[in-house]
Amino acid sequence: MSEREQVVVNAAAAASYTVVCAHCAELDAAEGSTGSTFAGRLDLDLHHGMFLCRRGHSVRVERAEPPEEQSAADAA
């Protein structure tokens, strides 16, 4: 169960994302097919989530920090 985990960073203002599962990309490359992309949704009030690709590999999605907060802190 300690399979290496893929982490994807989602844009701060985006609720949906499309990622390529790294495990599937390797499998697809070996098979000569391309089906490793999957789409998911991380609602704007959530900072992270766990998702499964179509083959069931776990992919962690983290939300990027909003840029406004950092620049506001620097200005103050």
Question: Which positions lie near Zn ion, rule CB under 5 A?
Answer: 21, 23-24, 53, 55, 57
Please say which residue, 24 or 42, places its beta carbon nearer to Zn ion. Answer: 24
- Minimum CB distance to Zn ion smaller for 30 or for 75: 30
CB of 16: closest distance to Zn ion in angstroms?
A: 18
Query: What sign does the dihedral 26-58-39-65 (CA atoms) show?
Result: negative
Alpha carbon distance 71, 19 (integer Å): 28
Decide: 49 and 42 in contact? Cβ < 8 Å: yes
Shortest Cβ contact with Zn ion: which residue?
Answer: 21
